[in-house]
Chain A
């Protein structure tokens, strides 16, 4: 039966898919493949390509900016556990039916609506050396914190803003929806047994939403590796120095500011490998979820 039906819709599905596949081929597959070719050449983005073999990769490994980008991405990854803990914790609090929980959820979601560019510029004002946050710190008797102008602090500012602050609202909606699916009976049984908030959180809530947490972590990895450019461009333009370079920002800087497109394509290949790994992980999660 199933074999007979395998092509029963004939050519129609391919016609239905053709707009999508044509766009993907031109704007995603072709660029990825050409990146590999370009990474083996010296190329300004226009004009002839000069074959240089692995020279770009050798240059990259010797490039301090590259390693700074990798370690900056690593620092951002370190914010993922913090973000997950805070978000699950606050979601569990809101789930207790506190007065106004829906209002809290809506307010925390606002940053996600505004989008990375507005958020980035808002914080570029708020976190200035003479900005409001530093003013508040000064009133509280603290020293000026160079949130965006110190290379070692700036990447952490990016992490706090994007990975923790922006994601809180998104995660609340996400986890509250997941927690909604928990069997109320299990939860109440735990309460009757005398379990308190942290015990139910640890023994009932977290195990029940394990899938959601796994997705959340993968989603955060995607954000850190593949969705940081707009924040960094508007917050710090990669600076100070290479202070907030990530792979994405490095590609932009080498390719579109210094016109070393061949070289930036080598960076792209590294980013491609990371993203491909995350993508495979995500697909596996989706498949275990649906089966």
Chain B
């Protein structure tokens, strides 16, 4: 899993059936001290998050099973809101 911050939203009316009703968000990967670390990407929101929130996300095949009832064509899924990181 990776830390990230939600920085934007992607609105798409015509999309794959399995993604209907799912929110696509732009996230910025973060390092452990919450500094930007890497290219921003589009992720599917599996839990309901908003702008500016810190989250963690999973990449690759594991992202496809983020929803309990279906496999989604996604390579990144937001799986939790992170309230704080203790170091």
Partners in one complex: no
> Which residues of A line the B interface, CB within 8 A?
none
